[in-house]
Amino acid sequence: MSGQERRFRRRNHAGRLFASVGGGALLLAALLFVFVGCGGSGQEGSGQQGSEGGGSGEEGSTQASAGGATSGATSGTTGGTTNAMGGGTTGGTTAPAGGETTAGTSGGSAGANASQPFTAIAPPPGATPLTEAPGPPEPQGTQPETTAVDQYGNPVSPIAARTVPLGQTLVAGAEDPSNGPLKNNRLVAYYGNPLSGYMGVLGETDPQAMMANLEEQTAEYSRLDPERPAVPTIELIASTASREPGASGLYINNLPTELIEQYAQLAEENGALLLLDVQLGLATIEEEIELLRPFLERPYVHLAIDTEYSVEPGQIPGVDLGNVDGTEIAPAIQTLDAIVRENNLPDKMLLVHQFETGIVTNKQLIQPTENVEVVLHADGFGGPEAKLTKYDILVRDEATQYGGFKLFYRQDAPLLSPQQVLQLDPAPAVVTYQ
């Protein structure tokens, strides 16, 4: 099925919405448990047990389904690419030392008159501008007389000249006509599902502890790059891919509306942003947007797509590697743009996860608008060289507008430091921790 054909596939929106809301009552006890205090360390060194993406089928974790049942969440596999270190971030508003600041309001978009709905973490007094840092650790076992390879056996690319200056977040040649959150700020996100500690750091602690840890991690990026104060962001998996078709037959489980609302309120109360992540299965992006529209019409809520879980009829997420075409993503950008204009909202952001080449096709069609910023996000765990080269291939060399980068507290060995992350070329505008 082509991307265009898939866009015309429709499901019963009312039935899915009813099922999603109806499951909330059956999950009330579970939700109370989550918000009173679920287990987990939540420290900076913590993370999820499963592999890349939101699911964790091999780990046996579960996500509450729309009807209150559970099913094993799916797991992606990491791709094998290699790398060398690149560049950083540029200009933005500098927060007053010792306090918090909201982003500037420059820009000519439809949402330019709306105040920014977040509070960036201000850098500490005396924070210095971003500077060059040492490169990542050398791959273990590499001999000087041989060609360096990463853990997948792929040759490690030599360090290339920067395509943009250190500290710049826009990819080479890109512009940002919007007044979106990335114009003057960086987002630092915790990713996951609050019903499962296996699916990311978001589910390892109670919400208040999670927020405190997220703010601490975010503050480190503000300290290292004070010209671009960082904003804490909750990346909540709103629809989790499943290996079972479920009641909808779409191989996804939608997070109950009540639970999304809890995290929406948590974000709003803490000056954070909420990034709703969809894993699709057999659903279309437009279908997921319509289910989430009441949240997307809020000024602090944005959208992310986990593309590898978008499969064709006869395929199973996590078993069959999915993909999304630019012809499916472009209309979603236009829909977000319309939501901004029709509701006089601050500009939105769309983040597109990808952990391997070929998962997102026809990227040239994925273009930002005056009201929507676009992030191509390099996903997947692995060694430093593999992750950094993957970023070069999926973000730097396939330029759209902004880049994003995911780190895994447990699976990345060793975990790249924030200072090393900021050396990427361009510097990630969104840094996600799982």
The two tokens of residue 285 are 């992006």
Query: Phi and psi for 331 in degrees, rounded to 5?
Result: -65, -30
pLDDT at residue 203, rounded to an integer: 84
pLDDT at residue 301, rounded to an integer: 98
Q: What is the amino acid identity at position 51? A: S
Whether residue 406 contacts residue 432, with contact meaning beta carbons closer than 8 Å, is answered with yes
Burial class (CB in 10 A: 0-12, 13-18, 19+), 5: exposed
Helix (H, G, I), strand (E, B) or coil at 354: strand
pLDDT at residue 291, rounded to an integer: 95
pLDDT at residue 332, rounded to an integer: 97
pLDDT at residue 103, rounded to an integer: 40
pLDDT at residue 405, rounded to an integer: 97
Q: Which DSSP helix (H) or strand (E) runs through 240? A: strand 230-241
pLDDT at residue 218, rounded to an integer: 98
Whether residue 350 contacts residue 305, with contact meaning beta carbons closer than 8 Å, is answered with yes
The reported pTM is: 0.73
The two tokens of residue 15 are 């039935």
Q: What is the mean pLDDT of each run of 10 residues along the chain (434 residues)?
A: 44 38 38 36 32 37 34 33 28 34 40 72 95 59 40 52 93 95 98 84 92 98 97 96 88 94 98 96 91 98 92 81 92 98 98 92 95 96 91 90 96 94 97 96
Q: Which DSSP helix (H) or strand (E) runs through 273? A: strand 273-278
25-39 b/e with 16+ CB inside 10 Å = b? Answer: eebeebbeebbeebe
pLDDT at residue 99, rounded to an integer: 36
SS3 helix, strand, coil % of the chain, rounded to 5?
Answer: 30, 20, 55
Whether residue 67 contacts residue 253, with contact meaning beta carbons closer than 8 Å, is answered with no
Q: Indicate if the alpha-carbon torsion angle 159, 163, 165, 170 is positive or negative.
A: negative
Q: What is the amino acid identity at position 281? A: G
The two tokens of residue 18 are 């009813």
ω before 414 within 30° of 0 (cis)? yes
Helix (H, G, I), strand (E, B) or coil at 325: strand
What 40-46 contacts at long range (C-beta under 8 Å, 24+ apart), as own/partner pairs, is: 40/197, 40/203, 40/204, 40/205, 41/204, 41/205, 42/201, 42/204, 42/205, 42/209, 42/210, 42/213, 43/213, 44/213, 44/216, 44/217, 44/409, 45/409, 45/410, 45/415, 46/201, 46/204, 46/409, 46/410
CA distances to 134, 144, 408 from 138, rounded to whole Å, are 11, 11, 19
Residue 149 is given by DSSP the state: B
